[in-house]
Structure 1
Amino acid sequence: MILITGATGTIGSEIVRLLAARGEPVRAVTRNPETADFPGGVEAVRGDYSDITSIAGAMDGADAVFVLGVLGPEGVDADSALVNAASAAGARRIVKLSAIGTGDPGLGLVGTWHLPGEQAVRASGADWTILRPSSFASNTLSWAQALHSHQPVSNLSGSGAQAVVDPRDVSAVAVEALLFPVHAGRLYTLTGPELLTTHDQAAVVAAALGRRVEVADIDEAAARAHMLAAGATPGFADGALAGQAFVRDGGNAVLTDDIRQVLGRPPRAYAEWVADHVSAFSGAAAADDWRSY
């Protein structure tokens, strides 16, 4: 039995789909199993990070567990609790979703958010794999509302470039790590095939839409005020801005070959992801929230 936490999210839902397509026994954890839409044969169970007892019950009998914690300073203990629950349930394999740059002093506090979870995985006694993906291509879905209104998209990273990764590739690597022991004890830094600035990404979207896409540089004070007004905590806002500054200063200009090594093919380009999701940019406006920065 393979248990997936965060099973309705971008990464988790794709992992569930891929495992189910391979005929693997899958248990998907969600706060609302009665409304979740999973492939046939997937066992949906209730689990809430704020109620670790529910998570522990969901993990009973799981052989492998995908751990997706809570991003932000308020959730730094969630990963450890999830890993400990997996260990107590007897899981023999644990795959932890982390983030690129974790542990890098240049990232400041945001670079420590995933460290407790990584440390717990390493100390769990189970076969473990840690995935550190770069910025997701899907993050630019936050541009949908601006594009629908023909407004500029926001940029806090200046001319800093990063190897934007297709989240489908991250999920595919997670599936391999959950299934095969050859990935035990490995830390994979998952990147796309090329370094892109926000302006580069906007040009790719513009080409797909067949029209110009403007980019507006947003200063940190305005971005922080926007995040706080939309419900972000000060700690989260400060961490997110530190991450953007890290990119702006060139700290995330990292390319690896890890996806090719695991999947036997090159990572998908951002342009491919945009082509597959262009309707999201040209359709109805998306809800605006603090994650749009």
Structure 2
Amino acid sequence: MILLTGATGTVGGHVLRLLATGDARPSPAPAPVPVRALVRDPSRLAPPFGVEVVRGDFDDPGSLRAAMEGVTDLFLATAAGPSVAAHDTAAVGAAAAAGVRRVVKLSALRVPGVRMRVAEWHAPGEQALEESGMAWTLLRPAGFASNSLQWAEAVRAGGPVPNTTGEGRQAVVDPRDVAEAAAAALLSPRGSRHEGRAYVLTGPEPMSVPDQVAAIGRLLGPGRAPGCVDVPPAAAAEAMRGAGMSEDFVGAALQGMEMLGSGRGEILGDGVREALGRPARPFEDWVRDHLDAFTGARPE
């Protein structure tokens, strides 16, 4: 039995579909693996056929214990924020007590020489996992290509797209690559090459916001490039506060903007190739497969 947390999230949703449909299983495919999804609100998840859905909460030890019964492998994804450390360690403790054999944890990219707040949220959970006695795999992705969806409304209106990081570049990763790496580790045999690994998962090339917007424009067609407008980080922070984001999130976002804008975010990892034996998908592939979000057209 594989237990998934974060099944309603960007990566967790992809992992759920891969495991439930069997697309992630090697050929010849072994017997289907039973899958259970732990969610706080089951009404938010319409799972594929055959997936068991259980209600649970990282702050409710009893629900974690119940969800772990009969589980052999755990995909651990917790909602971003300062609660990550407590939620990760609670899940790791419950998994170890239940006899779970392997955990694949969705973590965060580390930037050499920079104490990134987001990475520090994940550090206690990583340490607890490494000390747990269970087999483990860490996934440390760069920013997701899917974050460009925040520009969709501006693109549909003809632009411009707000840019808070200037010409700073990062190798955004397709979340489907992250999910496939997770599924590969979860379905691998005991003692596989995935165990004890921390995969740095990035796209194939660093791109600035203007680079990404230009790529969207090329796929939209001639004359459709929306362009960019620079937004000072302070103005972006006020907008985030106005949208109800906590100071923890605002502070982490500002630190990320400063890091990327300074050019320190140009990190290239080979984790996708190491985990899957193929190159990472380029940003254009993700946009092409989600172009309807930027045009307003319904997918066929």
Same fold (TM over 0.5): yes
Which digits, 9 at most, give the CA deviation of each residue in 1:230-262, with x for residues without a partner? 111112101111012111122221112221122
CA contact (8 A) 1:169 1:268 kept: yes
5+ residue gaps, structure 1, are: 285-293
CA contact (8 A) 1:107 1:242 kept: no
How far apart, in 1, do the equivalents of 2:119 and 2:264 lie?
A: 12
| 1:5 is the counterpart of 2:5 | yes
In structure 2, the residue matched to 1:187 is 198
| 1:27 is the counterpart of 2:40 | no
CA contact (8 A) 2:166 2:209 kept: yes
In structure 2, the residue matched to 1:58 is 67
In the alignment of these two chains, the number of paired residues is 283
How far apart, in 1, do the equivalents of 2:78 and 2:144 lie?
A: 16
By how many angstroms is 1:18 displaced? 0.9
How far apart, in 1, do the equivalents of 2:274 and 2:294 lie?
A: 32
CA contact (8 A) 1:96 1:129 kept: yes
Which digits, 9 at most, give the CA deviation of each residue in 1:115-165, with x for residues without a partner? 111111111110001110011000011111212222321211111111110
Aligned to 2:108, the other structure's residue is in SS state coil
How far apart, in 1, do the equivalents of 2:184 and 2:150 lie?
A: 29
1:206 aligned to 192, 217, 237, which one?
A: 217
How far apart, in 2, do the equivalents of 1:172 and 1:190 lie?
A: 11
The one-letter code matched in structure 2 to 1:173 is: A
| 1:282 is the counterpart of 2:295 | yes
1:225 aligned to 220, 226, 238, which one?
A: 238
CA contact (8 A) 2:76 2:103 kept: yes
Query: Sequence identity of aligned pairs in percent?
Result: 48
TM-score (norm 2): 0.90
1:143 aligned to 133, 151, 157, which one?
A: 151
How far apart, in 2, do the equivalents of 1:45 and 1:239 lie?
A: 31
How far apart, in 2, do the equivalents of 1:200 and 1:95 lie?
A: 32
How far apart, in 2, do the equivalents of 1:129 and 1:26 lie?
A: 19
Q: CA 1:280/1:4 → structure 2, altered by over 3 Å: closer, same or farther?
A: same
2:229 aligned to 216, 221, 242, which one?
A: 216
1:252 aligned to 258, 265, 268, which one?
A: 265
| 1:122 is the counterpart of 2:130 | yes
The one-letter code matched in structure 1 to 2:62 is: T
2:250 aligned to 213, 219, 237, which one?
A: 237
By how many angstroms is 1:56 displaced? 2.5
Aligned to 2:165, the other structure's residue is in SS state coil
5+ residue gaps, structure 2, are: 23-31
1:43 aligned to 52, 55, 77, which one?
A: 52
Q: CA 1:107/1:218 → structure 2, altered by over 3 Å: closer, same or farther?
A: farther
RMSD: 1.6
Residues 68-217 of structure 1: pairs in structure 2 closer than 5 A: 68-101=77-110, 104-180=112-188, 181-182=191-192, 183-210=194-221, 211-217=224-230
CA contact (8 A) 2:2 2:72 kept: yes
The one-letter code matched in structure 2 to 1:272 is: D
Aligned to 1:113, the other structure's residue is in SS state helix
How far apart, in 2, do the equivalents of 1:160 and 1:145 lie?
A: 23
How far apart, in 1, do the equivalents of 2:62 and 2:155 lie?
A: 43
By how many angstroms is 1:32 displaced? 2.6
By how many angstroms is 1:48 displaced? 2.3
Which digits, 9 at most, give the CA deviation of each residue in 1:27-85, with x for residues without a partner? 11122324521111111111223434323311211100011112112443111111112
How far apart, in 2, do the equivalents of 1:116 and 1:35 lie?
A: 29
Q: CA 1:111/1:205 → structure 2, altered by over 3 Å: closer, same or farther?
A: same
In structure 1, the residue matched to 2:281 is 268
Which digits, 9 at most, give the CA deviation of each residue in 1:206-234, with x for residues without a partner? 11112021211111111111111111111
The one-letter code matched in structure 1 to 2:261 is: R
CA contact (8 A) 2:155 2:161 kept: yes
How far apart, in 1, do the equivalents of 2:115 and 2:158 lie?
A: 33
Aligned to 1:129, the other structure's residue is in SS state strand
In structure 1, the residue matched to 2:27 is none
CA contact (8 A) 1:107 1:246 kept: no
How far apart, in 1, do the equivalents of 2:80 and 2:67 lie?
A: 21
TM-score (norm 1): 0.92
How far apart, in 1, do the equivalents of 2:211 and 2:231 lie?
A: 17
